[in-house]
Amino acid sequence: MTLRLHFDDLVHKMNDMQLLDGAEKDFIECILRSMGMKEECDKTEEELKNLKKVLAEKKKEVGGLKSLLKTECSKLEEERKKNHELKEERTALATVLEDVRSVVSGHNTTKADVWSLIESANSMSLTSSQ
């Protein structure tokens, strides 16, 4: 090999070394960035775990509120039914009272007739309250 070929070979190897040095720096930068990304990923993963815990707690809370709402709705429905029954009872008692008034206002009314109507009203009241 001639001196010129050795020189060209050395220049070529030096260029390759500079390229490798640049590639090594780029590689180190890439590793450092990936480490930063890993840290960021770890933080994000931790935040995600915390959010999942909060979500599970909120779901449990919503479930409890749904149950409470269902219970309250059932109570309101029962009250509505009771109120309807009481209204029907009041209407029946008002009808009996009107009957009593009409009988009492009649001229041919005896005490027995009045007591019979009162007993009839009492028995209706007892029957409807059961």
For 19-47, the pLDDT digits (tens) are 888 899 999 999 888 888 888 989 999 99
Which residues form the domain of 41?
3-128
Percentage of residues in the chain having pLDDT higher than 90: 44
Tally of domains in the chain:
1
Q: Which tokens sit at 82?
A: 């009771």
Q: Which tokens sit at 7?
A: 């020189």
Among 16-25, 44-53, 107-116, the least confident range: 107-116
Please report, for the chain, how many H helices and E strands are present, in that order.
2, 0
pLDDT for position 76: 96
CA angle 81, 85, 66 (to 5 degrees): 10
pTM of the model: 0.46
